[in-house]
Amino acid sequence: MSSLCYHFLNLIGLPTIQSGTALVSAPDYINNIPSGGKFQVDIADPCSGIRSLFALAMITALYGYITLPKTWQKIGLFLTAIPLAILGNFIRILILTFGTLGFGADFAIGTIDKPTWYHMGAGYFVYVIALGGMVLIGKILTSKWFNRPSPAPAVVGNPVTQ
């Protein structure tokens, strides 16, 4: 997750340095801002996404079992738990990074012992993104695009004389 966010932040023009699991702003020598002077976000082990992956795997399995008629649809939806967990955690780290840039680390992150409501809300937002994606994928899997009716069987012989 750190690497993905590091590359994305640099891609959108926000100079970032990755140090292990931490993302820090690159130094700005022109404005005399040291490395990490604009933001510092450390992605701790509990925030890695493995917990959300397990939760999403269970939820997609249950949702697929209840709502999808075909086995291949259920398996397909279950397998989307992995990219949905990645997407949700990616957006969470971006929310925390931009929150730190805009409002400061005390507001956006807090401390290890006492995270802020913003930090906790970003954690729950992972599930909003992932569950919304799960429902959308379920709708796509049951749409007409994926479930075209089979063509009618060919008639053998002359249909007029039969």
Whether residue 14 lies inside any domain: the answer is: yes
In whole angstroms, give the CA distance from residue 87 to residue 129. Answer: 8
* Number of compact structural domains in the chain: 1
Whether residue 162 lies inside any domain: the answer is: no
In whole angstroms, give the CA distance from residue 90 to residue 94. Answer: 6
- Give the DSSP H or E segment for 7: helix 2-11
Whether residue 118 lies inside any domain: the answer is: yes
DSSP H helices, 12-110, are 50-67, 71-79, 81-103, 105-108
SS3 state at 49: coil
pTM, rounded to two decimals: 0.78
- State residue 36's pLDDT score: 83
In which domain, by residue range, is 96 found?
2-141
- State residue 48's pLDDT score: 60
* Ranges of the chain whose pLDDT falls below 50: none
Whether residue 159 lies inside any domain: the answer is: no
- State residue 144's pLDDT score: 78
Whether residue 132 lies inside any domain: the answer is: yes
In whole angstroms, give the CA distance from residue 56 to residue 54. Answer: 5
In whole angstroms, give the CA distance from residue 109 to residue 103. Answer: 10
- State residue 47's pLDDT score: 61
Whether residue 74 lies inside any domain: the answer is: yes
Two structure tokens written together for 159: 């249909």
| CA-CA-CA-CA torsion sign (128, 126, 109, 115) | positive
Whether residue 16 lies inside any domain: the answer is: yes
Whether residue 58 lies inside any domain: the answer is: yes
